[in-house]
């Protein structure tokens, strides 16, 4: 019920901000701030969610006695041993605090950074609504990925402001929170050499590969052998593991993501450059969709690209896109369309999420 309440509030204020943008500006900002604080509390003080006990296990096994760079030396390969994440865990333990503190700290930075960035958008409630429809549920489980994703989004904002050095430092830091986030550095590299038209071709080819062959994820097993037995065994474990056998199929989310990627690329080609931020978000979305379908047969990898590039990019790109649209009717239609789109996604994710419980009321 608490999830539905949060989503309903976000939907109501998205509509209010669309219909009465000026007369309710102060109220919108105030409620948005309270909303973000309450969301941090709900996520930070949760109990018994997906991956909850896995992170408790990480909390107990990682400490300064296993110090190393770029990964701590505790068991578990790279999982939870990324330098920044493991150092945060170790500091919390050195202060005599428990694992709940870890969840609260991560939620504060992960959600706090995202909502700070949403607040810089004109239609920040729409960004919040999109967040609640799919990203929110990831905050309850994949805490390293979501915190790293916040760093990546902040880095993209910095790149769009010609602060490339700071952006690169943040991208490096994101990989030291969740190792997969190092893929963002590859994205920054190819963004400089791939045009919107070429991205359209790449998306088309990756989608065709996904449909015809299921993807090329199995090639990662071969590639991983060049990085030693530890990495190879982990890749093989993910590929043949139980999670990967929950095979991905074409669905509401990935097909609409494909549509948005194609729409924004064509929009970019037709109308040209409008803003640095919109530009880099379009490329991030296109990159995510390309990689998602290319590794369609490798659930773990495809989902990581979805989490890091597709979901986060869309939650910023759609509200930002509306800022450059002059037609008021068009903006209203898009916003109310997004309310319906988000409602469907929210209900799907909500229906597959265990009932919420909190350490504050247990």
**Would you kindly state where each structural domain of the chain is located, as residue ranges?**
1-62+89-141+326-362, 194-324
At a CB cut-off of 8 Å and minimum separation 6, what does 125 contact?
10, 13, 14, 16, 17, 28, 32
Kindly report the pTM of this predicted structure. 0.92
Please give the pLDDT value at position 294.
94
SS3 assignment, position 86: helix
Q: Where are the beta strands (DSSP E) in the chain?
A: none
| Cα 259 to Cα 261: distance, rounded to the nearest angstrom | 5
pLDDT score recorded for residue 188: 94
pLDDT, tens digit only, all 362 positions of the chain: 799 999 999 999 999 998 887 777 888 999 999 999 999 999 999 987 888 899 999 999 999 998 999 989 887 667 888 999 999 999 999 999 999 999 999 999 999 999 999 999 999 999 999 999 999 999 998 999 999 999 999 999 999 999 999 999 999 999 999 999 999 999 999 988 999 999 999 999 999 999 998 888 877 777 767 766 666 676 676 666 645 555 568 888 999 999 999 999 999 988 777 789 999 999 999 999 999 999 998 888 899 999 999 999 999 999 999 998 888 888 999 999 999 999 999 999 999 888 888 888 86
The size of the chain, in residues, is 362
DSSP 355: P
* Phi, psi dihedral angles at 80 (to 5 degrees): 80, -5
Give pLDDT, residue 241. Answer: 65
pLDDT at 71: 87
User: In a 10 Å sphere around its CB, with 0-12 CB exposed, 13-18 middle and 19+ buried, how is residue 357 labelled?
Assistant: middle
Residue 308 to residues 34, 39, 215, 223, 355, Cα–Cα distance (Å) = 26, 20, 19, 22, 25
**Taking phi first (over 0 means left), then psi (-120 to 50 degrees means alpha), and beta for anything else, what does residue 48 get?**
left
342 and 137 Cβ atoms separated by less than 8 Å: no
DSSP for 228-259, please give it: -HHHHHHHHHHHHSTTTTS-----HHHHHHHH
pLDDT in the model for residue 98: 94
Question: How buried is residue 285: exposed, middle or buried, by Cβ count under 10 Å (0-12/13-18/19+)?
Answer: buried
Distance between CA atoms of residues 84 and 74, nearest Å: 14
Paired residues of 46 in beta bridges: 358
């Amino acid at each position: 019920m608490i999830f539905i309440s949060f989503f309903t509030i976000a939907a109501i204020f998205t509509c209010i901000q669309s219909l009465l943008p000026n007369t309710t500006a102060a109220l919108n900002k105030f409620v948005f701030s309270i909303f973000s604080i309450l969301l941090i509390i709900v996520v930070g003080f949760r109990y018994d969610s997906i991956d909850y006990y896995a992170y408790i296990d990480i909390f107990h096994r990682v400490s300064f006695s296993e110090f190393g760079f770029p990964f701590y030396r505790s068991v578990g390969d790279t999982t939870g041993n990324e330098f920044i994440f493991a150092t945060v865990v170790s500091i919390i333990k050195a202060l005599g605090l428990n694992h709940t503190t870890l969840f609260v700290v991560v939620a504060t930075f992960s959600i706090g950074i995202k909502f700070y960035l949403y607040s810089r958008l004109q239609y920040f409630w729409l960004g919040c609504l999109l967040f609640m429809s799919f990203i929110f549920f990831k905050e309850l489980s994949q805490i390293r990925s979501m915190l790293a994703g916040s760093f990546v989004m902040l880095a993209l904002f910095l790149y769009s402001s010609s602060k490339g050095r700071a952006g690169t430092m943040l991208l490096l830091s994101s990989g030291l929170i969740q190792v997969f986030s190092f893929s963002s550095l590859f994205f920054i590299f190819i963004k400089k050499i791939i045009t919107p038209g070429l991205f359209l071709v790449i998306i088309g080819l990756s989608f065709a590969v996904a449909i015809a062959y299921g993807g090329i994820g199995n090639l990662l097993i071969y590639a991983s052998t060049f990085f030693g037995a530890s990495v190879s065994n982990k890749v093989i474990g993910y590929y043949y593991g139980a999670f990967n056998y929950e095979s991905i199929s074409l669905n509401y989310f990935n097909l609409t993501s494909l549509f948005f990627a194609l729409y924004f690329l064509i929009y970019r080609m037709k109308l040209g450059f409008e803003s640095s931020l919109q530009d880099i978000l379009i490329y991030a979305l296109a990159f995510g969709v390309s990689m998602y379908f290319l590794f369609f047969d490798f659930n773990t990898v495809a989902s990581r690209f979805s989490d890091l590039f597709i979901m986060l990019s869309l939650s910023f790109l759609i509200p930002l896109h509306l800022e450059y649209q002059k037609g008021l009717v068009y903006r209203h239609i898009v916003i109310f369309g997004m309310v319906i789109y988000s409602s469907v996604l929210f209900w799907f994710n909500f229906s597959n999420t265990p009932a919420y419980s909190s350490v504050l009321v247990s």
